[in-house]
Structures are given as structure tokens and as C-alpha cells.
Structure 1
Amino acid sequence: MGVGATRRDAQLVLDDLSFRIISTTADRDPGAARFVLVHGVGTSHRYFARLHDDLARDSDTVSVDLPGFGGQARPVRTVEVGEMATALGHALDTLGTAPFVLVGHSMGAQWVVELAAQRPDLARAVVIIGPVTDRDHRSMVAQALALAWDTVGETMSVNRRVFVDYLRAGPSWFLRQVRRMVDFPIEDRIIEVTAPVLVVRGGNDPIAGTGWSRLLRDRASHGSMAVVPGHRHVVQHTAPRAIASAIRAFVAT
């Protein structure tokens, strides 16, 4: 974080949905971008911490733990992608600093794309890292195999964070949300996003492949793509400086 930056950790409950909002206010220019980081299924803000800190050197940055994840209370009912995105929008309304650059990883890409489609007023730009679910591999089995293969090549630091968060989420809530993830047609919803979209992937990511990532880029109204060679699905943790640099360059264009 930059000199003079301040961090705030807050809980927000909207009906039966509980959010954790971790925000860093930076010394910045008045027109600087404001970033919101949204994790994927089963995980939390913890695997965004390195990217959060890099972006927060010169920009206000928010990381969100969604309901049921990162120690937040698990909803007793199923929450569809559209409903989660709507609730996330209401949570961001409380910050009073829109629009944002919405950054989502994995299933987080689905939530931020859906949010940007629902609420264009909240989206200055959208960044989707390792987006799911590839329509050519849209099944629970295919996604489990891709995740297993990715795990083999990830660093111990990634795997430790991810699996601890999986355990905290619990198998029932995790699987209910994975089913929503597999079914969600992000390739159709991204067409409705009017903000510029940057698709990011690690060059060795077995979950978000090259062809799939290019398809999402091409379906966006204003799409771009960045690849970080040699990294896998959780590239925002293993290459935070490269990701932050790509995001800053994208926002500046």
C-alpha cells in the first residue's frame, strides 16, 4: 500500500446475505480508478491480497467476501448468479464511490459480468481473470478434472489458501454454487456489458483456455485480452505485479 493509505474492514448484511468489505483508501488523483475485487467459488479475499496491495498503492481498492465464503454466514437457500450480483451491487452502493473497475476471478468473473450487465452505472470497466465456465467443458466432471490438473501445477502458497477456504465454505454450499457456476452462460451475458472488458489468463491455465478466453473477448462490446506466460489459474496471486500492470494499462486506454 502507498504511504498514507488507510484500510477498513466492515461487515454488511443485506436481508439474509452477509458480505465482508475490505477497503483501502489510497493517496490518489481525484480521477483515479477505484477497484473492486471479487473472488471465485469457495475462495475469499485472501488470494487477492497481493493484487489488492499492489493496486492500493495508488488507487482506492476494495476486496469483497461474498455470502457463504471467507467465513461469511452460509445462506440456507440457493443463491443464483443473478441474485448474488444484484446483492453485490447493493453492497457497493453503500460505498458511495461508483463507478468501479470490477475485477472478478474464476466464478467471480460471472458475478462481475452479471453485475455490469444489470448495473452499468457501477462499472467503469470490467476485468475477468481465468473466467469460467468454458462452454465446451460445461459439466461438473470436466470442471473437477480441470481444477485437479491446475492444482498439480499451482504453488503451495496458492493451494494452501484455496483449500483452507474450501473447507471454510463447506461442501454443501460449495457444491450448490458450483452447480450455478457450471450452468451460467457468461458468453451470452457479456454481450450485454457496455463497459470495456479485459480478459486475463495465465498462459498455462487449464480452466480458462485460450480459445474460450478469446471468445469472451470477442463477444464483449469493447474487449481486450492479456496473457501472463508461465502461470496458471490463480495468476493474480502468483503474478500480482504483472496483473496489476495489465489492469492499469487497460484502464488508462
Structure 2
Amino acid sequence: MNSQVPDSTTVKREGGKWVRVHRVRQTGRHARAERPSFILLHGIGVSSRYFLPLTTVLAEHGDVLLLDLPGFAGLPRPERPLGIEDFAAVVADVLDAAGVTEAILVGQSMGTQVATELLATRPDLARGAVLVGPTTDASARRVRTQLLRFVRTVVHEPRRMRAIAIRAYLACGPRWYLQVLPAMMSYPTEDRLGRVSAPVEILRGEHDEVSPARWTRLLASRVPGGRTRTVAGAAHSVVLDHAAEVADAALDVLARVRRRSRPPAEEA
């Protein structure tokens, strides 16, 4: 599968924080008058690069925005550590500026927390989400425990994912990573999802110990109609080598959003 090249890339300042936005416009194969937007949110320490195969699939169905969050992917680091709420506010500003009104969020790892916060606080922007490898398991919010789980998981990651991650971690730098880490560790995803009524699907890889099955089932139970999927052969970074499965979940969420918004006369 060829990776989609962004139609445009913009580095902009939102709320005093720098963010990079890669935009890919719908290819037209499945064009509709009401064109959705898929918003891709990366995990801690990495960048949006590992979303490129997924972008190729989703761009057949709508516009795709890949965001590099403040302090990551070589972007200037904010003067103070950001919480998940701060990252979500930056994303909301980007979507407001872009005129997005029907966003389907796809978050991976820490990106699932940013997506969750957007669902909870800006339902006018975020209409549904796919949460891939959500962190951090409420029963194991200790850095040592998460590190051990990550080590056991990373051996199952594809080699190219490890290469992408290493380059991204170097661009991020250990200082910013460690400044953001406490916010990721303490964010109560399970509680914030309790405020969400939008369609949500939760994916995890078969070999993902960072996001165990019981944790994803708990999260799904907090959302009306929440669904879970386990992707065979995958680890934590499902989005790179299993783009088709992630895209299928995103399109399922989009279909559920559209059914909800359909006028009663059309349902009859």
C-alpha cells in the first residue's frame, strides 16, 4: 500500500502553542455532498507519520487531518508542561479554524485521551471516535508497571514502527516526554468517557499488554453502545500495519453518526 502524501502542511500557533497540520483532501472515489473529516491523533513521544497508511484508506471517504501535537515531531516545546485538556484545546482550535463540523477522531495511545477529552467537551466538533490502544489502565497507573508492559509489547511491533518511533522520540527529546508523561499516566479516561454519548469503538492489538482486553471492555462499558475489537497479530501501534482494520472501525463509527443524525422521516 502506498502512503498518501499530504496535500498541504501548515505549522501554526494556536493558543500560544505550535501545532503542525497535514491535510489530505478526499480522493473522490466515495465522494458525498456531506464530506466527513477524519482527525488522527498520535501517542506520546511520536508523530503523525505512522498514520500515513491509514490516511491512504480514509482519504477515499473524506478529508483527513493528521496533527503533530505541541512539543512533538520537532515542534517548539511549550513553556510549561501540558495536560490532556490542553492538548485537546489545541486540537479544538485547529478544527474550529478549519471549519470542521463532523469530525471522526482516531486516536492512538495518548491520542485516545485527547480524543476522549474532545468527545467530552466539544461534541459539536467531535461526533465519534476510534480509540486504538487506549492508555492508561486504571488498575496500573504506575510508571514501572507501564514500562514493563511496554517492553513486553514492543517486541511484537513491526520493525518499521520501531524505526519511526525511535526517530520521533529523538525529535521530541526526553525532557518533554517526561514532562508530559504524568498527565498521560493520571488522565481518568474511564471517568471522562462516562460523559460521552457519541459512538465509540475501541481497538487493541492481540499482543498489546499496555492496553489489556479487560481495560478496553471497561472503557466500552462507559459509553452507550461502546464496542471493542481485538486485531489479530497486532501490538500497541495497530494503526501502521493494520490500517484496513482501523479504517473499517472509523467508517463504522461514521455510519453510526449518520444514522443518529438522519431525520425520523428517513428512518421510516
**Which interval holds the TM-score relative to the shorter structure?**
over 0.9
Paired residue secondary structure (1:242): helix
Structure 1 distance, partners of 2:174, 2:100, is: 35
Paired residue secondary structure (1:128): strand
1:48 — aligned with what?
51
Give the AA of the match of 2:221: D
How many residue pairs match? The answer is: 251
Paired residue secondary structure (2:80): coil
Give the AA of the match of 2:165: V
Q: After the TM superposition, which segments of 4 or more aligned residues of structure 1 sit over 4 Å from their partners? A: none
User: Identity, % of aligned pairs?
Assistant: 34
Structure 1 distance, partners of 2:205, 2:85, is: 27
Structure 2 distance, partners of 1:249, 1:14, is: 31
2:17 — aligned with what?
17
Query: What stretches of structure 2 of length at least 5 have no aligned partner?
Result: 257-268
Q: Given that residues 100 and 122 in structure 1 are in contact (C-alpha distance below 8 angstroms), is that contact kept between their aligned partners in structure 2?
A: yes
1:64 — aligned with what?
67
Structure 1 distance, partners of 2:156, 2:39, is: 28
Aligned pairs for 1:80-229 (under 5 A) are: 80-229=83-232
Of 241, 259, 266, the match for 1:238: 241
Structure 2 distance, partners of 1:203, 1:155, is: 14
Structure 1 distance, partners of 2:51, 2:226, is: 23
Structure 2 distance, partners of 1:232, 1:94, is: 35
Structure 2 distance, partners of 1:243, 1:142, is: 27
Q: Given that residues 133 and 237 in structure 2 are in contact (C-alpha distance below 8 angstroms), is that contact kept between their aligned partners in structure 1?
A: yes
Structure 1 distance, partners of 2:54, 2:200, is: 18
Structure 1 distance, partners of 2:119, 2:151, is: 30
Shift of 1:212: 0.1
Q: Given that residues 86 and 118 in structure 1 are in contact (C-alpha distance below 8 angstroms), is that contact kept between their aligned partners in structure 2?
A: no
Structure 2 distance, partners of 1:16, 1:252, is: 36
Query: What TM-score does the superposition give when structure 1 sets the normalisation length?
Result: 0.95
Is 1:31 the equivalent of 2:31? no
Structure 2 distance, partners of 1:90, 1:16, is: 11
Q: Given that residues 106 and 250 in structure 2 are in contact (C-alpha distance below 8 angstroms), is that contact kept between their aligned partners in structure 1?
A: no
Q: Given that residues 150 and 232 in structure 1 are in contact (C-alpha distance below 8 angstroms), is that contact kept between their aligned partners in structure 2?
A: yes
RMSD: 1.7
Pair member with larger Rg: 2
Query: What TM-score does the superposition give when structure 2 sets the normalisation length?
Result: 0.90
Structure 1 distance, partners of 2:71, 2:245, is: 30
Structure 1 distance, partners of 2:55, 2:126, is: 18
Using a 3 Å threshold, how does the CA distance of structure 1 residues 20 and 213 change in structure 2: closer, same or farther? Answer: same
Give the stretch that moved more between structures: 161-170 or 22-31: 22-31
Q: Given that residues 103 and 129 in structure 1 are in contact (C-alpha distance below 8 angstroms), is that contact kept between their aligned partners in structure 2?
A: yes
